[in-house]
Amino acid sequence: MKKKITIKEIAKILMVSVSTVSKAMNDSPEISEKTKKKVKELAKFYGYVPNHIAVSLKNQSTFNIGVIIPDIQNSFLAEVLKNIEVHAKKNGYRIITFFTGEKLKEERESLNILSNGMVEGIIVCPSEETFVERQFEHFKNIAETTPIVTFDRLHKELNFNSVSVDDDQSILKACDHFQSTDAKNILFVSSIGWLSVGKTRRRTFTGFIENNTSVTGETIEEHDLDELRKKIEARITDDSQPNIDAILGADIESTSIASASISRNKLKFIDEISLIGYVNKKQNELQFPRVSYINQYPEKVGEKAVELLISNLKQDQKKITQEIIKTEIVKKDTSK
Amino acid sequence: MKKKITIKEIAKILMVSVSTVSKAMNDSPEISEKTKKKVKELAKFYGYVPNHIAVSLKNQSTFNIGVIIPDIQNSFLAEVLKNIEVHAKKNGYRIITFFTGEKLKEERESLNILSNGMVEGIIVCPSEETFVERQFEHFKNIAETTPIVTFDRLHKELNFNSVSVDDDQSILKACDHFQSTDAKNILFVSSIGWLSVGKTRRRTFTGFIENNTSVTGETIEEHDLDELRKKIEARITDDSQPNIDAILGADIESTSIASASISRNKLKFIDEISLIGYVNKKQNELQFPRVSYINQYPEKVGEKAVELLISNLKQDQKKITQEIIKTEIVKKDTSK
DNA sequence: CTGTTAGCGCGTTCAT
DNA sequence: ATGAACGCGCTAACAG
């Protein structure tokens, strides 16, 4: 493998000083056009490019942004990540991505590594285990020296700039929508009951049911997806119990399973049973039926996260901004 | 924002030299236990961690691997990426990810940035535009100083270690499977006719048809997904033409659309029409029907790519390894 | 216009 | 057992 050429070697070849080369490469007005041309030609010839590590050390700035997310397979997170990358690039930043697999230990390590001067700020979606274990110290420690923006998942201990989605509102909107289209008995299905966001969504749902006399509600929570499918199918085909005329999916998986269960048992969407939930948007457009869904606007989340971080980078701000993205019910084929 | 503490400041506080602190932190046998303890305690107290940029510059090694992929929304690429990250981490490397959006310009820029000392090697899935424009010089230039491993997409000009999937074989396997289950007229659908991999898949299909008298074949290629859907639906419901009894999807999108089209028009899977194609595996498991698919084993691709790169990093190897991952038809609900 | 020098943070001889 | 000095590649303040 050929060694990369440095400024020093170019200087030697041209019999000038390293600073002349450096200035020429950076188009300093101090250098004559003739010299600039000579230097640049040779640089191009040897494929010279400034060593980013050295520049970072010298300038004390890396133009890297760290991103930590629990799972790339989650289509919402993947879409947020993509938009983070796009907007970071637009602002001249690169991203360094770590995946935690929802593990606290991985999260701690990622934060440590990234804060060692590798990046100027960190955008992070805290892992589930972090919430379960209620461990937030590692965030606070890092935040003393490195700006942090969190997204998607909130906690009162996480006192940073953040972008999240109005989860309560979206569940309520779906419930309201069902109620206004005359649903009588809503089934809430979830494969993320163990996850904090799953708990919030369930609580919001049960709260709605308790405060409304015109609708009743039931809940199926099951982490094992195949079990979940069985339970849902058993319930919606059970004639001995009150009829389910609407299903609310608390996450992408349970919504998919609910849709498949309805199709497999040949129930008629809308006429017999409606469905609203969370989906993989891109995939949903191609399917039949396309499920009516709660749009969480991952593009906005990603863009806003970058925006908050960069403004924080540019000036040491004191006030914390907790941005909340409004969600929206998008009607497709499975609901009125 | 608090400034990060350096070795220098710790040295000053402890009234020792920087080299003593450095050695103590790295458990050098030259340093007494007493001093080590003193240094480490203070370091911990101040949350000291060595500056990664400085260490990288000093050691001329970053322990970073660059990854360049066209699109994170592609579930195959996303799964490969995830596995690259996992295996990189397992070997003590971090990954820096860039997305090209299938653009040549973005690919060039990404390669340039990454090869400026940021990473020790690069794993890249070349963008589509690169193939269309037949531009491979930028790879060759970078490869002189930085080890490169390509994956998924091959070209004879790309003379690097690579991991790919036996695309021809997988299409042939699907065709064979249809033939052996008595399909008479196979429809090949594709939304990626413009993509090199799409062309290969189509050629393989038409080649199969030409060499087999017992089956006939048709092709629908359409980049606009809604148009594609219309064309597929029109064709499979057109009684004036020969009956289509099998569909082969050339990519995830067209396969999804084909499945949805069949469902929407209430054709019976297997009895009336079969379907095999590429899918988002995770999503496919939750759907009804689950589409019979070609498994490309993204886990293996990711793992192998990291393996090839790291072995290349460890010793300057001369022989090029072009790994090919065997695919497999996985029978689900849409085919015999 | 060009060169010399210092220093970013760290690890590593080589002295002491 | 500890410290002084150098250099990784680069930029910038200061001289000339």
Which tens digits make up the pLDDT trace of A160-204? 999 999 988 999 999 999 999 999 999 999 999 988 889 999 999
DSSP bridge partners of B185: B216
Verify if strand D has an atom below 7 Å from the CB of B94.
no
Cβ-in-10-Å burial (0-12, 13-18, 19+) of B327 comes to buried
Report percent pLDDT > 70 for chain A: 100
**Of the candidates A107, A105, A111, which has an alpha carbon nearest to the alpha carbon of residue A142?**
A111
Which residues of chain B make contact with A317, given a CB cutoff of 8 A? none
A79-106: average pLDDT: 94
User: Strand, coil or helix: what is A149?
Assistant: strand
Which residues of chain A make contact with B78, given a CB cutoff of 8 A? 72-73, 78
Task: Flag if A260 and B73 touch (Cβ within 8 Å).
Answer: no
Nearest to A260 among B3, B117, B286 (CB): B286
Contact call for residues A87 and A110 (beta carbons, < 8 A)? no
Q: What is the pLDDT of residue A286?
A: 96
CA–chain centroid gap for B142, Å, is 20
Residue of B nearest to A143 (CA): B1
Residue with tokens 């030409």: B210
Q: What is the Cα–Cα distance from B86 to A100, expressed in whole angstroms? A: 10
Which contacts qualify for B130-137: CB closer than 8 Å, 24 or more apart? B130/B104, B131/B155, B131/B195, B131/B196, B132/B194, B132/B196, B133/B104, B135/B104
Q: What is the Cα–Cα distance from A55 to A59, expressed in whole angstroms? A: 6
Give the H/E segment covering residue B65: strand B64-69
Closest CA-bearing residue to C1' of D9? A54
Contact call for residues A325 and A297 (beta carbons, < 8 A)? yes
Which CATH number applies to A63-165+298-327: 1.10.260.30, 3.30.230.30, 3.90.1170.40, 3.40.50.2300?
3.40.50.2300
Centre a 10 Å sphere on the Cβ of residue B225 and count the other Cβ atoms it contains: 16
Q: What is the pLDDT of residue A196?
A: 82
Q: Does residue A316 register a pLDDT over 80?
A: no
Q: What is the Cα–Cα distance from A62 to A52, expressed in whole angstroms? A: 8
Q: What is the pLDDT of residue A1?
A: 82
State pLDDT tens for residues A224-260.
Answer: 999 999 999 999 999 999 999 999 999 999 999 999 9
Q: Which residues contact B68 (CB under 8 A, 6 or more apart)?
A: B97, B98, B99, B100, B107, B110, B111, B114, B122, B123, B124, B125
Q: What is the pLDDT of residue B168?
A: 87
At A283, is the pLDDT very low, low, confident or very high (cuts 50, 70, 90)?
very high
Q: Which residues contact B118 (CB under 8 A, 6 or more apart)?
A: A52, A53, B62, B64, B66, B96
What is the value of pTM for the model shown? 0.93
**Would you call the peptide bond into B289 cis, given omega within 30 degrees of 0 as the criterion?**
yes
Q: What is the pLDDT of residue B196?
A: 82
Contact call for residues A200 and A230 (beta carbons, < 8 A)? no
Nearest to B52 among A79, A118, A260 (CB): A118
In chain A, CATH 3.40.50.2300 covers: 63-165+298-327, 167-296
Q: Which residues contact B91 (CB under 8 A, 6 or more apart)?
A: B306, B310
Give phi and psi for B149, each to the nearest 5.
Answer: -125, 125
**Of the candidates B91, B332, B302, which has an alpha carbon nearest to the alpha carbon of residue A72?**
B302
Closest CA-bearing residue to C1' of C8? A58
Query: CATH fold of B167-296, please?
Result: Rossmann fold (3.40.50)
Q: What is the pLDDT of residue A149?
A: 97
Helices (H), B60-195: 75-90, 104-115, 128-133, 137-143, 167-180
Q: What is the pLDDT of residue B318?
A: 76
Verify if strand C has an atom below 7 Å from the CB of B26.
yes
Cα distances (Å, whole numbers) of residue B139 to A1, B54, B106, B125, B143: 14, 28, 13, 11, 6
Q: What is the Cα–Cα distance from B260 to A333, expressed in whole angstroms? A: 12
Closest CA-bearing residue to C1' of D13? A19
CA–chain centroid gap for A319, Å, is 23
User: Residue B122 carries which side chain, given as an amino acid letter?
Assistant: I
* CA within 13 Å, CB half, B45: 10
- Residue A255: both structure tokens together: 């919504």
State pLDDT tens for residues A44-62.
Answer: 999 999 999 999 999 999 9
**Of the candidates B277, B231, B236, which has an alpha carbon nearest to the alpha carbon of residue B254?**
B277
> Strand A322-325's sheet: what is its strand order?
A322-325, A161-165, A148-151, A121-124, A64-69, A94-99, B94-99, B64-69, B121-124, B148-151, B161-165, B322-325
Task: Flag if B78 and A72 touch (Cβ within 8 Å).
Answer: yes
* CA within 13 Å, CB half, B139: 24
Nucleotide nearest to B26 (CA to C1'): C11
pLDDT in tens, chain B (336 residues): 888 999 999 999 999 999 999 999 999 999 999 999 999 999 999 999 999 999 999 999 999 999 999 999 999 999 999 999 999 999 999 998 999 999 999 999 999 989 989 999 999 999 999 998 999 999 999 999 999 999 998 888 999 999 999 988 999 999 999 999 999 999 999 999 988 889 999 999 999 999 999 999 999 999 999 999 999 999 999 999 999 999 999 999 999 999 999 999 999 999 999 999 999 999 999 999 999 999 999 999 999 999 999 999 988 777 899 999 999 999 999 999
